Amino acid sequence: MATRPRRRTAWQAKAALLPVLLTGALSLAACSGGSTPTTSSQSGGASKTLVMDASFTLKTADPGRNYEPTGLIIGKALYDTLLTFEGTDVTKPLPSLAESYEQSQDGKTLTLKLRQGATFSDGSPVTADDVVFSLDRVREMKGNPSFLLDGVKVAKTDETTVTLTSKIANPALPFILPNPALGIVNSKVVKANGGTADSSDKAEQYLNGASAGSGPYQLESFNAQSQVVLKANPKYWGAKKPAYAKVVLRNVESATQKLNVQRGDSQLALDLSGDQIKGVSGNLQTTKTASANVVFLLANQDSGVSKVTNNPKVVEAIRKGVDYQGLLELAGEGSVQAPGVIPTMFLGALSPDQAVKRDVEGAKAALAASGVSAPSIKLEYPSDITLQGLSFQPFAERIQANLKEVGITVELAPAPVATALENYRNGKEELGLWYWGPDYPDPTDYLVFLPGKTVGLRAGWKAGADKELEAVGDKAATTIGDDERKQLYTDIQNKLNASGPFIPLIQPSQNIVTAASVTGLAFHPVWTVDVAALGAK
């Protein structure tokens, strides 16, 4: 996750959703109740402690460097952003520290009026200077989330107004600003502890021990390997105060998460697989919803890599030969077929009826028309990571069986993620099985699948391979207005589904289990869970 984790691979930052297995001692510690800080208070209201179990993907509590899934949960609780999203809706950015915003007609300027009365946890007001320092720091430190503000200049217009100016039209910027990595810090506190808006910044150590935000919680303790403890911010400026006085987030592998939540040692489990959630019993609530991770196949178009997958009729045969419903059965309840590369909950997503359907006879006809006799293809994928608790191996085996019916022999080639990633990133896979998780909930993040772009190149799809599609992509990247953007991204995905080298498969389910006492849970594709929105009864 060191370099632009989410501009990634497809195991990328959110790729990080792979569980971190704990040592025996740590697992035992996480399972224990008793007198540790992880026990839940039974007193009412804001005196309660919420215990959450997750498989950590976590490096830092410094918002300017934080771009891992677990870190974004923490960052959302500690640091308010200029804009936010309500509940599960990611189609409309809403005011937070900014009370209003306006984007210019050319899409290059975003003007934000700051909310008056917002304060940091030390009681000092959130100012335009804090906003400028915070965003400049993220961009100029060149950490994991820096790319979010590439080409964006931040300026203080007056004491209550900040202007963000992009070199080119940037319709995605309002959708980027809610990311917890862009949380606003108390610039005076951070500067006093080594913070700078450049690569010489030394504030991370301080921010891993104490927060400097305006969010509903403060950082009490931080350990990236075992446990993070948050405490309610008594000076929180927002109208809705935290329901829990303390939140304990523990690093626990998924099987133990299930045990903990069933016996009441925790109140929330984030990482149960579809099979694990079936066996959950007791007075518990389960949430099953499609995640924003899109699992896909890529067929390499570089003849130097494969003289089989660069044949468009072979790709058509693969696309028509896959049993999408069978893959959904493997993935479990809550999963959905990915109709296109853009997740179903984002602007521009295709509707379910636009998804590719299996057509074995059509696949056989396409293969016959390809002129390739009895093709054999190597399928590569990571062998040692999971996605929402799911391994890639069963999916690869099912695809192998599906394509055998069509007349295509698939050789399975699993490899440790480090090895598989190298081939994937360098465009050396003949047929690859990966996934893409969102950097931000806007369709511009999926233009990487076009020729000459990040993922397009990983499929050997060079610039100029489809000039008409590339022109539509260039237009979509700079178009302002949801209606026109939606149509452009629909057209792009329909063209990709018809003749591109990518085959979207599924969006696995995000399975979350909570105690009956927990209310207000809403899965979010960027920060997973908004801790401050959780209630207690």
In this structure, are 281 and 352 located in the same domain?
Answer: no
Residue 3 included in any domain: no
Q: How confident is the model at residue 142 (pLDDT cuts 50, 70, 90)?
A: very high
> Whose CA is closest to 180, among 77, 43, 55, 281?
77
Residues 262 and 321 in one domain: no
- CATH number, domain with residue 177: 3.40.190.10
DSSP 75-126: HHHH---SEE--TT--SS-EESSEEEEEE-TTSSEEEEEEPTT-B-TTSPBP
Does residue 2 form part of some domain?
no
User: Does a structural domain hold residue 86?
Assistant: yes
- Quick check: 232 pLDDT over 90? yes
Predicted confidence (pLDDT) at residue 24 exceeds the cutoff of 80: no
pTM of the model: 0.85
Percentage of residues in the chain having pLDDT higher than 90 = 83
**Averaged pLDDT for residues 154-169:** 97
Task: Give the residue, 9 or 217, on which the prediction is more confident.
Answer: 217
What size, in residues, is the chain?
537
Pairing type for strands 161-166 and 98-103 reads unpaired
Which secondary-structure segment (H or E) carries 51?
A: strand 49-54
- Which pLDDT score, from 0 to 100, does residue 23 have? 30
Q: Are residues 493 and 372 in the same domain?
A: yes
What share of the chain in percent tops pLDDT 70?
Answer: 91
Judge whether 9 lies within some domain: no
AA identity, residue 112: L
pLDDT at 41 (0 to 100): 38
pLDDT digits (tens, 9 = 90+) for 177-186: 999 999 999 9
Using CA atoms, how far apart are residues 293 and 393, in angstroms rounded to an integer? 17
How far is 506 from 199, CA to CA, in rounded Å? 39
Q: What is the mean pLDDT of residues 429-446?
A: 95
Q: How confident is the model at residue 165 (pLDDT cuts 50, 70, 90)?
A: very high
pLDDT digits (tens, 9 = 90+) for 496-509: 999 999 999 999 99
Buried b (16+ CB within 10 A) or exposed e, 357-390: ebbeebbbbbbeebebeebebbbbbbbebbbbbb
Q: Are residues 332 and 346 in the same domain?
A: yes
The reply to whether 238 and 300 lie within a common domain is no
**Other beta carbons less than 10 A from residue 512's beta carbon:** 25
98, part of any domain: yes
pLDDT in tens, 445-483: 999 999 999 999 999 999 999 999 999 999 999 999 899
Residues 80/96, Cβ–Cβ less than 8 Å: yes
pLDDT tens figures, 205-220:
999 999 999 999 999 9
- Read off the pLDDT of residues 409-426 as tens digits, 9 standing for 90 and up: 999 999 998 899 999 999
pLDDT reading at 386 higher than 90 = no
Rounded-to-integer distance, Cα 523 and Cα 514, Å: 12
User: In 371-437, where does DSSP find H-type helix?
Assistant: 393-406, 417-425
Mean pLDDT to the nearest integer, 22-30: 31
Residue 226 has pLDDT above 70, yes or no: yes
Q: 53 to each of 56, 96, 132, 215, how far by Cα in Å?
A: 9, 28, 35, 21
Q: How confident is the model at residue 278 (pLDDT cuts 50, 70, 90)?
A: confident
Q: How confident is the model at residue 15 (pLDDT cuts 50, 70, 90)?
A: very low
Claim to verify: residue 252 and residue 367 sit in the same structural domain: no
The dihedral built from the CA positions of residue 224, 228, 234 and 240, taken in this order, carries a sign that is positive
Which pLDDT does position 46 carry in this prediction?
59
Residues 112 and 259 in one domain: yes
| 3-state SS class at 294 | strand
Residue 444 belongs to some domain of the structure: yes
Contacts of 89 (CB under 8 A, 6+ apart): none
pLDDT value of residue 141: 95
> Residue 17: helix, strand or coil by DSSP?
helix
Averaged pLDDT of the chain: 90
Q: Is the domain of 184 the same as that of 304?
A: no
pLDDT at residue 333, rounded to an integer: 86
93 CB-near residues (< 8 Å, 6+ apart): 83, 84, 85, 101, 174, 175, 177, 178
DSSP collapsed to 3 states, 511-525: EEEEECCEECCCCEC
Distance in angstroms (rounded) separating the CA atoms of residues 306 and 300: 7
- Break the chain down into helix, strand, coil percent, rounded to 5: 35, 20, 45
Q: Which of 227, 198, 225, 193 is nearest to 210 (CA)?
A: 193
Number of structural domains in the chain: 2
Span 330-342, average pLDDT: 94
Do 336 and 276 lie in one domain? The reply is no
- Give the closest residue to 75 by CA, choosing from 535, 522, 524: 524
Decide if 4 is inside a domain.
no
Answer yes or no: is pLDDT of 404 > 60.
yes
Bridge partner list, 54 = 251
Containing structural domain, residue 252: 14-288+511-536
pLDDT at 14: 38
Instruction: Band the pLDDT of 26: cuts 50, 70, 90.
Output: very low
Are 74 and 100 within one domain?
yes
Closest CA to 148 of 8, 11, 17, 7: 7
List the CATH number of the domain containing 385.
Answer: 3.10.105.10
- Distance, first Cα to last Cα, the chain: 38
Instruction: Say whether both 523 and 449 belong to one domain.
Output: no
Residues 379 and 457 in one domain: yes
Q: What is the pLDDT of residue 17?
A: 36
Express each pLDDT in 257-277 by its tens digit.
999 999 999 999 998 888 888
Residue 9 is encoded by which pair of tokens? 């691979």
Pairing of strands 94-95, 431-436: unpaired
